[in-house]
Amino acid sequence: MPGSNELEKALNTVKPANLKERVQKTSATLEDAIVRFVNVQKTYDSERLVVRNLSLNIARGEFLTLLGPSGSGKTTTLMMLAGFEPATHGEILLNGKSINRVPPDKRGIGMVFQNYALFPHMTVAENLAFPLQVRSMSKVEIKKRVNAALEMVELETLGNRRPAQLSGGQQQRVAVARALIFEPELVLMDEPLGALDKRLREQMQYEIKSLHDRLGVTIVYVTHDQSEALTMSDRVAVFNDGEIQQLSRPADLYEKPATAFVADFIGENNCLTGLLEDRGRNGICAVRLPNGQVVKASQVGELGDGNEIVLSVRPERVVLNPSRTADMSTLEATVDKLIYHGDHVRIRLTVAGQKPIVVKVANDGQGGAVMKGDVKRVGWLARDCRAFKRGAGR
């Protein structure tokens, strides 16, 4: 992805609130954006916006994942891009040209459906030949390409089978091969691995990713599985309620969530609430918990004075019996429950009269060191604890 670093940087740092501004700001570097959503809205019933004011640029060759809970508008976004649902407002551009009025078959976008949608009355080879036949390719050329595609997904011997005679994983591969066989620049995948068991899913993730690396196509991938999103993507767009909450590289998504929703949705998370005490300097602020204690946290976004604050800290970043250093906030907590996980132990503690927090401790074989009812000190570094304005981006 040459040249897309700048673009990424530009996109990552902008908050969802000023999407419009972002599009304009980054448009200079967008020569290599293959898809652009410009202020796209969608409603099915003219009452509720399923997609709100979506602006998004997809770089050529990138693997972009739309991640979000069920009903957050991911499929709708994908369907608008594929041409099966019209956008009720805004514009979608493919290679710089508006495709709002281009029918799906003229867009040249490959698509993998959740149930694969392999045509049951055709053999695997016929399924693969279909997109080539409708493009009036010669028989010889079709045969060559079908064989190459079968080879690509390692199903050389199964060309004459019907889809129903294949296992789930094999069907999945055929569906991917069929979406790629006419060499589209852009391939959309809507929860393509949702129906597979865990092992197969991990294998297919790997195969799809390596196909992406080999062929250099742009892939827009929809999933509600965060680990899938984190392992496969170049960038992830986290959706909630029809809005992009954050668009970042996977690592940033985990380390630097932009909203409380993202912090909660990606990975495990402990939540504490409080009021802003001091806006501080260098992005480190002080927050007063309801029991009067003050903790330090990295400030995310604009936090108004006296606002209600949500603090978020990952279980593995909470330290048990911390050493007292300047930027370590410590609290007293009562052990409520020990949960044994084999390689690690989770300790649930009640702290400062709030929802219990969980601490992840490596299993060092000394399981008896902590007992239920013990009063312990827990703490975390200010950079590991993020402070969000309550209610922002739900």
Partner 1 sequence: MTEAVLAADDHALLKTQLSSALRRQKLSAFLLVAPLLIFVTATFIYPIAGMLERSTYSPEFALEMPRTAAALAPWDGTDVPGDEVFEALALDFKDSKTRQATGRLANLVNVELPGARGLIMKIGRGVDRLQPPYREALVALDNDWSKPEIWQALYGLSKAYTSRFYIAALDLKINRQGEITTQPEDKRIFLPLFLRTFWIGALVTLCCLLFGFPVAYWLSVLPMRYANLLMILVLLPFWTSLLVRTTAWIVLLQNQGVINSLLVWTGAISDSNRLSLIFNSVGTIIAMTHILLPFMILPLYSVMKTVPFSYMRAARSLGANQYTAFIRVYLPQTKPGVAAGCLLVFILSLGYYITPALVGGESGTLISNMIAYQVQKSLNWGLAAALSSLLLVGVLLLYWAYNRLAKVDGFKLG
Ligand X SMILES: Nc1ncnc2c1ncn2[C@@H]1O[C@H](COP(=O)(O)OP(=O)(O)O)[C@@H](O)[C@H]1O
Q: Where does this chain bind Mg ion (CB under 5 A)?
A: 75
Q: Round to whole Å and give the CA distance between 139 and 131.
A: 13
The backbone torsions φ and ψ at residue 347, rounded to the nearest 5 degrees and listed phi first, read: -115, 125
Figure out which of the listed residues 7, 19, 50, 92 binds ligand X, where binding follows CB under 6 A: 50
CB of residue 310 to Mg ion, shortest distance in Å: 28
Element (H, E) at 204: helix 198-215
Figure out which of the listed residues 10, 30, 102, 117 binds partner 1, where binding follows CB under 8 A: 117
Q: Round to whole Å and give the CA distance between 347 and 332.
A: 14
Q: Report CA-CA distances (Å) from 136 to 182, 268, 391.
A: 12, 52, 55
For partner 1, the closer of residues 81 and 204 by Cβ is 81
Report what 108 binds from ligand X, Mg ion, partner 1, none; CB cut-off 5-8 Å by kind. Answer: partner 1
Task: Give strand pairing partners of 33.
Answer: 59
Q: Round to whole Å and give the CA distance between 317 and 83.
A: 44
User: Total number of residues binding partner 1 (CB under 8 A)?
Assistant: 25
Q: Round to whole Å and give the CA distance between 225 and 69.
A: 9
Q: Which amino acid is at 38?
A: V
Q: Round to whole Å and give the CA distance between 241 and 19.
A: 16
330-345: buried (b, 16+ CB within 10 Å) or exposed (e) per residue? bbebebeeeeeeeebb
130 binds partner 1 (CB under 8 A): yes
Report what 55 binds from partner 1, Mg ion, ligand X, none; CB cut-off 5-8 Å by kind. Answer: none
Report what 68 binds from Mg ion, partner 1, ligand X, none; CB cut-off 5-8 Å by kind. Answer: ligand X
- For strands 308-313 and 319-320, give the pairing: unpaired
Report what 71 binds from Mg ion, ligand X, partner 1, none; CB cut-off 5-8 Å by kind. Answer: ligand X
104 binds partner 1 (CB under 8 A): yes
Q: Count CB atoms within 10 A of the CB of residue 234.
A: 18
Binders of partner 1 among residues 67 to 86 (CB under 8 A) are: 82-84
For Mg ion, the closer of residues 60 and 224 by Cβ is 224
For ligand X, the closer of residues 70 and 138 by Cβ is 70
Q: At what angle do helices 168-180 and 139-152 cross, to 10 degrees?
A: 130
Count each helix (H run) and each strand (E run) in the chain, helices first.
10, 20
CB of residue 44 to partner 1, shortest distance in Å: 12
Q: Round to whole Å and give the CA distance between 204 and 225.
A: 14
For partner 1, the closer of residues 101 and 281 by Cβ is 101
178 binds partner 1 (CB under 8 A): yes
Q: Which two tokens stand for residue 260?
A: 């409380």
Q: At what angle do helices 168-180 and 198-215 cross, to 10 degrees?
A: 20
For partner 1, the closer of residues 182 and 254 by Cβ is 182
Report what 117 binds from partner 1, ligand X, Mg ion, none; CB cut-off 5-8 Å by kind. Answer: partner 1
Binders of ligand X among residues 28 to 47 (CB under 6 A) are: 44
CB of residue 110 to partner 1, shortest distance in Å: 7
Task: Give strand pairing partners of 297.
Answer: 285
x/- letters, 67..106, toward ligand X (CB under 6 A)? -x-xxxxxxx------------------------------
For ligand X, the closer of residues 76 and 172 by Cβ is 76
Binders of partner 1 among residues 325 to 344 (CB under 8 A) are: none
Q: Write out the residues near partner 1 by the rule CB under 8 A.
A: 82-84, 103-105, 108-111, 113-115, 117-121, 130-131, 134-135, 178-179, 182
